[in-house]
């Protein structure tokens, strides 16, 4: 495309809240046939809310939430914020944490008032050799409703589960429908549990789901789709997503997400509205038409 048509395209994009960083991103958008999209913070608002706490026999709900929230005060994960906020809303007093550790894609651990506390998914329990007992069964109901359910262990014993719900953005359903109308396949990628992922994907008519993906596997999945001959756009918001954004033909970051994601992407959707992807494709077609 000519420099002038690129300028026109990026200028129109800017007025629509679609920031296009370079000519390459604008040129390739119309050729994209596969959109890989992160769940949390991209399809969803990324601001989960505490829904429920359930305990294993011998543990009290208030204790499980207090230990979990005390631990999460040291974490910056959106799930952590939901748990801390939920506990505070219930007037629970939090304690300080020693030996805090965060294990990417799995959860967090620490020591609170001399008790060992672990909070995260089944991979975390596996890594710490903690028997989850019937926590996975307890988790299924909330997950079937699209909740993210985390496991809590106190002194290496399965103590309870915490369910949070992250609302799907109001604009997401329309964006996916518009992409489908243009023949773009949508693949959802998430570190979250498979049942939760399938529930969210089902509501949106997502074509393919890759769940329980560790952060460093996200770029690999993009690479695999590219090797199959697809032109892949990747949309994400987190630090986790940066390598996959960089690997894809066009990276699309949420303006509501982390700076690292935006630095790794060719396009930023200022308000995180995924309908901007379809608008970017229209701008791309318009720009490329000018030069043919």
Q: What is the number of helices (H) and of strands (E) in the chain?
A: 12, 13
Indicate which of ligand ADP, Mg ion, none lies near residue 50 (CB less than 5 to 8 Å, by partner kind): none
Taking CB under 6 A as the binding criterion, the range among 7-15, 91-99, 102-110, 270-278 that sits at the site for ligand ADP is 102-110
189 DSSP β-pair partners: 38, 210
Which one of the listed residues 38, 166, 237, 273 is annotated catalytic? Answer: 38
Using the rule CB under 6 A, which residue among 53, 80, 84, 112 binds ligand ADP?
A: 80
192 belongs to the binding site for Mg ion (CB under 5 A):
no
Closest CA to 212 of 240, 238, 197, 192: 192
- Restricting to residues 230-249, name those near Mg ion by CB under 5 A: 237-238
Using the rule CB under 6 A, which residue among 10, 55, 240, 268 binds ligand ADP?
A: 240
User: What are the φ and ψ backbone dihedral angles of 150, each rounded to 5 degrees?
Assistant: -110, 150
121 belongs to the binding site for ligand ADP (CB under 6 A):
yes
Cβ atoms of residues 196 and 206 within 8 Å: no
Q: Please tell me the distance from the alpha carbon of residue 64 to that of residue 264, in angstroms, as a whole number.
A: 38
172 belongs to the binding site for ligand ADP (CB under 6 A):
no
106 belongs to the binding site for ligand ADP (CB under 6 A):
yes
Active site residue 273: no
75 belongs to the binding site for ligand ADP (CB under 6 A):
yes
Q: What number of chain residues touch ligand ADP (CB under 6 A)? A: 23
Using the rule CB under 6 A, which residue among 17, 215, 255, 286 binds ligand ADP?
A: 215
Q: How far apart are the first and last CA of the chain?
A: 9
Q: Please tell me the distance from the alpha carbon of residue 274 to that of residue 37, in angstroms, as a whole number.
A: 10
Sign of the alpha-carbon torsion through 76, 152, 197, 31: positive
Q: Tokens representing 34?
A: 């596969």
38 belongs to the binding site for Mg ion (CB under 5 A):
yes
Return the number of the residue (148 or 287) whose C-beta is nearest ligand ADP. Answer: 148
Active site residues: 38
């Amino acid at each position: 495309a000519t420099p002038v048509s690129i300028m026109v395209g990026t200028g129109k994009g800017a007025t629509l809240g679609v920031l296009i960083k370079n000519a390459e991103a604008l040129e390739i958008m119309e050729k994209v046939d596969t959109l890989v999209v992160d769940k949390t913070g991209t399809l969803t608002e990324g601001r989960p809310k505490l829904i429920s706490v359930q305990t294993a026999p011998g543990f009290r709900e208030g204790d499980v939430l207090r230990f979990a929230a005390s631990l999460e005060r040291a974490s910056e994960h959106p799930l952590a914020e939901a748990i801390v906020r939920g506990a505070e809303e219930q007037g629970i007093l939090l304690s300080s944490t020693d030996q805090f550790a965060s294990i990417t894609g799995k959860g967090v651990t620490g020591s609170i008032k001399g008790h060992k506390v672990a909070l995260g998914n089944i991979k975390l329990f596996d890594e710490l050799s903690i028997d989850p007992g019937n926590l996975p069964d307890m988790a299924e109901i909330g997950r079937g409703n699209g909740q993210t359910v985390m496991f809590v262990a106190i002194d290496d014993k399965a103590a309870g589960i915490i369910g949070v719900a992250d609302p799907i953005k109001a604009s997401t359903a329309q964006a996916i429908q518009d992409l489908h109308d243009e023949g773009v396949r949508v693949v959802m990628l998430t570190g979250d549990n498979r049942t939760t992922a399938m529930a969210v994907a089902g509501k949106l008519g997502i074509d393919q789901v890759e769940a329980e993906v560790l952060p460093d596997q996200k770029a690999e999945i993009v690479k695999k789709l590219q090797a199959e001959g697809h032109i892949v756009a990747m949309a994400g918001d987190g630090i986790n997503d940066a390598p996959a954004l960089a690997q894809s033909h066009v990276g699309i970051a949420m303006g509501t997400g982390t700076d690292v994601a935006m630095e790794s992407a060719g396009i930023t959707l200022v308000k995180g509205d995924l309908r901007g992807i379809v608008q970017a494709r229209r701008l791309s077609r318009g720009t490329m038409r000018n030069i043919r």
